A = this chain, B = another copy of it.
Amino acid sequence: MRLSEGVEWGIHCATLLALVPPPRTISAARLAEYHGVPGPYLTKHLQALVRGGVLESVPGPKGGYRLSRPGAEVTVLDVVEAIDGTQPSFICTEIRRRAPVRMPASDFALPCAIHVAMDRADAAWRDELRAVTVAELAEHVMTTVSPGSLEQGARWMQQAVR
């Protein structure tokens, strides 16, 4: 079971954008530069984040991307689901119904126990991702990097934000 690399890029972008004072934006090109990833491919994921309600895209030559709401209200799960989808990791195809034993419909009234166990694990995974916001991730970066890096980062932001 593997998340797409777009998930990593998306969380990093949303975390960086949590540090941008509204209503300002950063362009896709600058976000790609900051993360060292290919611009056109990143744009695809940024657009998924817009469709998922995580980011807003501001058009025009001075445009760019910003969070659609405060970073404290954007969870990691919001980002993951915008890019990777909301479908469960386990798809139950009800193969129990294919058994050569002819079972009455009432035997299938209860959901398959395998399906239940897999869904419970999926819910635990989502609960953890829902418990972390991109504002918290951004704060973690701000409070753990060295003063010199913070200063350089602030300078980069001043140039990139528009």
Q: Which residues of A contact B (CB under 8 A)?
A: 1-3, 5, 7-9, 11-12, 15, 33-37, 76, 84, 87, 89-93, 95-96, 98-104, 106-107, 110, 113-114, 117-118, 120-122, 124-129, 132, 136-137, 140-141, 144-146, 148-149, 152-153, 156
Contact A127 B125 (CB under 8 A): no
User: Across chains A and B, which 10 residue pairs bring their CB atoms closest together, nearest first?
Assistant: A36-B98, A121-B128, A113-B140, A125-B125, A124-B124, A101-B152, A103-B149, A117-B132, A107-B145, A121-B125
Asked, given contacts A15-B114, A100-B34, whether A124 binds B122 with beta carbons under 8 Å apart, the answer is: no
Asked, given contacts A101-B156, A117-B137, A121-B129, whether A93 binds B8 with beta carbons under 8 Å apart, the answer is: yes
Nearest CB on B from A82, distance (A)? 13
How many identical subunits does the complex contain? 2
